[in-house]
């Protein structure tokens, strides 16, 4: 009889949690009261502006996405919206030599790599061993792949 006690307690706790979840999902939120009407103005109401005279065509050719970018379309109300995005190219200049980045050491550390933004951006790729250091061979292999 004693071996069933933990099982009964577990089943009871589980059923209470399930019942609480069902009750919590079943309740509705009260609706907020409507906003009060605007106060009466002593000045005459301004006339509504005239309707626009130009009407945009319903279907307009979508411009192509920028080179290397992406394009997404969505509908905002009734009018389609086209979003073009791209990453601007980084012109970091010529790559510095290993000796310049290593500062006389036999490796480049992550803080040394921050002097060359392209290497700092690719740090996780270049430091495949996750040692926090890049050897001359690793740096030269990375340079040959990025030219």
Distance CA 124, CA 65 (A): 30
pLDDT higher than 60, residue 57: no
Q: CA angle, corner 83, sides to 79 and 84, nearest 5? A: 145
Sequence-separated contacts (24+) of 74-78 with Cβ below 8 Å: none
pTM: 0.41
pLDDT digits (tens, 9 = 90+) for 107-137: 999 999 888 888 888 898 888 888 999 999 9
DSSP track, 12-58: HHHHHHHHHHHHHHHPPPPPPPPPPPPPPPSSPPPPPPPPPS----S
- Which residues 6+ apart lie within 8 Å of 71 measured at CB? 62, 64, 65, 82, 83, 84, 85
Q: How confident is the model at residue 106 (pLDDT cuts 50, 70, 90)?
A: very high
């Amino acid at each position: 009889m004693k071996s069933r006690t933990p099982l009964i307690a577990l089943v009871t706790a589980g059923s209470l949690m399930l019942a609480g979840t069902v009750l919590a999902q079943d309740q509705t939120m009260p609706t907020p009261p409507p906003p009060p009407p605007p106060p009466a103005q002593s000045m005459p109401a301004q006339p509504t502006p005239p309707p626009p005279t130009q009407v945009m065509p319903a279907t307009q050719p979508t411009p192509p996405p920028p080179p290397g970018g992406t394009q997404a379309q969505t509908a905002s109300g009734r009018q389609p919206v086209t979003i073009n995005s791209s990453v601007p190219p980084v012109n970091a200049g010529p790559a510095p030599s290993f000796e310049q980045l290593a500062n006389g050491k036999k490796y480049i550390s992550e803080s040394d790599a921050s002097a060359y933004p392209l290497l700092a951006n690719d740090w996780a790729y270049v430091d495949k061993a996750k040692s926090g250091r890049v050897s001359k061979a690793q740096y030269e292999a990375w340079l040959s792949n990025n030219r």
